[in-house]
Amino acid sequence: MKARAVVAWNVRRMRVEKGLSQEKLAADASVDRAYLAKLERQSVNTGVDVLDKLADALSVSVAELFEIPAEGAPPPVTLRGGRKRS
C-alpha cells in the first residue's frame, strides 16, 4: 500500500471512530473540507503541515497516520450522510 493510501485510510478510520464528520474535522484542523475529502479519496498529496494539523485535531501522533493496516482489514466505513452535531 502506498503512503498516500495509508494516510487516507488512517485519517478516515480515525475520523469515523471518533464520530467526526469531514466538516467538523476540517474545521478543527483549519483545513478546507473539500481538501480533506480529496485527501481521503487519495486525490491529493498532502504536506507535513496539514498532517500536523490533522494529527492534532484527531489527538494522535503524526506517526499514527502512517500505520499500515492489518492484512485483510476491511476498509473504513463512512459515516451516515447529513450534518453531524458539533
What torsion, rounded to 10 degrees, do the Cα atoms 33, 36, 42, 45 define?
120
Whole-prediction pTM = 0.84
Number of domains into which the chain is organized: 1
Domain that holds residue 43: 3-64
The predicted-structure confidence for 37-75, as pLDDT tens digits, reads as follows 999 999 999 999 999 999 999 999 999 999 998 887 777
Round to whole Å and give the CA distance between 21 and 78.
Answer: 9
CATH of the domain at 50: 1.10.260.40
Q: How high is the pLDDT of residue 33?
A: 94
Q: How confident is the model at residue 18 (pLDDT cuts 50, 70, 90)?
A: very high
